[in-house]
Structure 1
Amino acid sequence: MKDFSDLSERELMALAIALEEEDSRIYDEFAEGLRENYPDTAKVFAAMAEEENGHRHRLLDLFRTRFGNHIPLIRRQDVRGFVERKPVWLSRPLGLDTVRKQAELMEAETKRFYIRAARQSQDVAIRQLLGDLAAEERRHEATAERLEAKYVPEGVREKEHDAERRLFLLQIVQPGLAGLMDGSVSTLAPLFAAAFATHSTSETFLVGLAAAVGAGISMGFAEALSDNGSLTGRGSPWLRGAVCGLMTTLGGIGHTLPYLIPDFWTATAVAIAVVLAELAVIAWIRNRYMDTPLLSAAFQVVVGGLLVFGTGILIGSS
Structure 2
Amino acid sequence: MKNFADLTEREVLAVAISAEEEDSRIYMTFAEDLAERYPESAKLFEEMAEEEKGHRHMLLQMYEQRFGPNLPPIRRDNVRGFLRRKPIWLTKNLPLDTIRKEVGTMEFEAERFYVKAAEQTQDVGVRRLLGDLAEAEKGHEKTAAKLTDEILKPDVRAEEDATRRRVFVLQYVQPGLAGLMDGSVSTLAPLFAAAFATHQNWPTFLVGLAASIGAGISMGFAEALSDDGSLTGRGSPWLRGTASGVMTALGGLGHSMPFLVPDSWPNAFWIATALAGIVVFFELWAIAYIRARYMDTPFLQAVFQIVLGGVIVLAVGILIGAA
TM-score (norm 1): 0.94
Aligned residue runs from structure 1 range 181-220, under 5 A: 181-220=181-220
Show the 5 A alignment for 1:68-79. Answer: 68-79=68-79
Deviation of the 1:135 alpha carbon: 1.2
Whether contact under 8 Å (1:107, 1:137) holds in the other structure is yes
1:18 and 1:118 map into 2 onto residues whose CA distance is 17
Query: Partner amino acid for 1:305?
Result: G
Q: Is the 8 A contact 2:30 2:89 kept in 1?
A: yes
Per-residue deviation, residues 256-312 of structure 1 (Å, max 9, x unmatched): 001111211011000000001011011111111111111111101111110100000
Q: In the alignment, is the contact (CA less than 8 A) between 2:171 and 2:240 conserved in 1?
A: no
Q: What's the counterpart of residue 267 of structure 1? A: 272
1:9 CA displacement: 0.5
Question: How much does 1:23 deviate?
Answer: 1.0
- The answer (yes or no) to whether the contact 2:215–2:249 under 8 Å persists in 1 is yes
Quote how far apart the aligned CAs of 1:58 are: 0.6
RMSD: 1.8
AA of the residue aligned to 1:66: R
* AA at the equivalent of 1:315: I
CA drift at 1:25: 0.8
The alpha carbon displacement at 1:243 in A equals 1.8
Q: 1:301 aligns with which of 274, 286, 306?
A: 306
1:1-318 alignment, distance < 5 Å: 1-144=1-144, 159=157, 161-262=161-262, 263-318=268-323
Q: Distance in 2 between matches of 1:261 and 1:173?
A: 33
2:295 is aligned with what amino acid?
A: M
Q: Distance in 2 between matches of 1:202 and 1:154?
A: 58
CA–CA distance in 2 between the matches of 1:235 and 1:174?
A: 12
Change (3 A) 1:242 1:53: same
- In structure 2, stretches of 5+ residues that fail to align are 263-267
More deviation, 239-248/275-284: 239-248
Q: Name the SS of the counterpart of 1:139 in structure 2.
A: helix
- Rate the CA distance shift 1:174–1:144 in 2: closer, same or farther, 3 A: closer
Provide structure 1 residue ranges, at least 5 long, that are not aligned to the other structure: none
Tell me the number of residue pairs that the alignment of Structure 1 and Structure 2 aligns. 315
- Give the Å deviation of 1:154: 8.4
Q: Percent identity?
A: 63
Task: State how far apart, in whole Å, the 2-side matches of 1:277 and 1:194 are.
Answer: 22
Residues 144, 164 of structure 1: alpha-carbon distance in 2 compared, 3 angstrom cutoff: closer
Task: Tell me by how many angstroms 1:233 deviates.
Answer: 3.0
**CA 1:130 to 1:315, structure 2 compared with 1: closer, same or farther past 3 Å?**
same
CA distance in 2: counterparts of 1:112 and 1:258, whole angstroms: 47
Pick closer, same or farther for the CA change 1:63–1:305 going to 2, 3 Å.
same
**Matched residue SS, 2:129:** helix
Q: Is the 8 A contact 2:172 2:243 kept in 1?
A: no
TM-score by length of 2: 0.93
